[in-house]
Amino acid sequence: MKPAARRQAVDHMCESYRVSGARACGLINLAMSSYHYQPQSVRDDAPLRAALRRHAHTRRRWGYRRLLVLVRRDGFTDNHKRIHRLYRAEGLQVRRRTRRKQRLARGSGRPETPTQPNQRWSLDFMHDRLINGRALRLLTVVDNYTRECLWLEADTSLPGARVARVLDQLVELRGAPAQLLSDNGPEFAGLVLDRWAHQHQVHHRFIEPGKPAQNGHNESFNGRLRDECLNEHEFRNLDHARDLLEAFQLDYNYQRPHSALNNLTPAEYAAQQKIAHPLGGACPGPSLLLDHPVPNPQSSLTTRQNSH
């Protein structure tokens, strides 16, 4: 029993059985100082509770220690013990997942349509294999307004720190976006990318679980990449895969007409918006401004800077 319940039990015994307070406290095993204790002031925890509920609704799989980081950003200075007590009182504990996956409604709805370049970048992962059976993982980054493939990163493993490093290099080439859009994968929903978005003042938005259509621009690009590149080639090794992916990215941005852009290429549409277009590639490469001649993806590939 908690002290509050013990005090109520002492009061009940004194009223019903006409025993003294000391006798009742002895029977209940409650110290007299605890029985007569009066709180100095009652603190209003409503703002802190509201902040915890708001962040827990967005980050459903985060425990109180990660939520503590977010409420600290909101200006609350309470220690972890108070945060944990209110976290449990609000019933925000992360429940263990069942073996069968269930869809969790986020309530955010379909993202709004971007109206200018760099307003929203979408990120997604794809999977393939090398000819020796080794796993190949791809990170795709697409500007949802110009439909440009901003980056194709290929490796056997792409943790959250690698994703943040790719975004840092993209920001150097064309500035930070207003918004990132991704699914709830561990690389995107982890602390590393959350810290990156906070430092660059970028709003990181997640699609609802089980609704990939909310990231339709990236899903459409991934479909073209799968159909026109991944299913057409067998990759001998990682370098071979990066070369073919860079060639596909050049062809997609500079040669392939896009029906949503009135059959302009993404690079031509971006030129009309008067922004610079980075070359990018499977490995980080130099930027290429739109007033340069359109490269031929069948020619020799430009030398890439090795950042691995």
Average pLDDT of the chain is: 82
Q: What percentage of residues in the chain have a pLDDT greater than 90?
A: 53
Report the pLDDT value the prediction gives residue 99, as an integer from 0 to 100: 55
Task: Report residue 182 CA to chain centroid gap.
Answer: 6
Q: CB–CB of 248/225 below 8 Å?
A: yes
Q: What is the DSSP letter of 278?
A: E
What 3-state DSSP class applies to 266?
Answer: helix
Query: Is the CA virtual torsion 281, 284, 288, 289 positive or negative?
Result: positive
Mean pLDDT is lowest, of 99-103, 221-225, 281-285, for 281-285
Alpha carbon distance 244, 283 (integer Å): 11
Q: For every residue of 5-38, which 3-state class applies, written as one string?
A: HHHHHHHHHHHHHCCCHHHHHHHHCCCHHHHCCC
Q: Is 206 exposed, middle or buried (0-12, 13-18, 19+ CB in 10 A)?
A: buried
Other Cβ atoms within 10 Å of 217 Cβ, number: 21
Measured on CA atoms in the order 248, 251, 254, 257, is the torsion positive or negative? negative
- Residue indicated by tokens 């509770």: 49
Q: Is the pLDDT of residue 304 over 50?
A: no
At 15-31, the pLDDT tens digits run 999 899 999 999 999 99
Rounded distance, CA 245 to CA 226, Å? 11
DSSP-assigned beta bridge partners for residue 141: 123, 151
Q: Identify the residue whose tokens are 């062809």.
A: 251
Would you state the pLDDT for residue 158? 93
Question: In whole angstroms, what is the distance from residue 19 CA to residue 127 CA?
Answer: 75
pTM, whole model, 2 decimals?
0.63
Provide the CB-side half-sphere exposure for 101 (13 A, CA): 3
Nearest by Cα to 151 from 126, 131, 133, 128: 126
What are the tokens at 225? 């990449």
Whether residue 303 is predicted with pLDDT greater than 50 in this model: the reply is no
Q: What angle do CA 111, 117, 121 make, to 5 degrees?
A: 50
| DSSP letter assigned to residue 152 | E
- Which pLDDT tens digit goes with each residue over 155-187? 999 999 999 999 999 999 989 999 999 988 888
Nearest Cα residue to 209 out of 123, 94, 108? 108
DSSP per-residue codes, 57-92? HH-TT--HHHHHHHHHHTT----HHHHHHHHHHTT-
Q: How far is Cα 24 from Cα 12, in angstroms, rounded to an integer? A: 9
Task: Give the DSSP per-residue string, 153-207.
Answer: EEES---HHHHHHHHHHHHHHH---SEEEE---HHHHSHHHHHHHHHTT-EEEEP
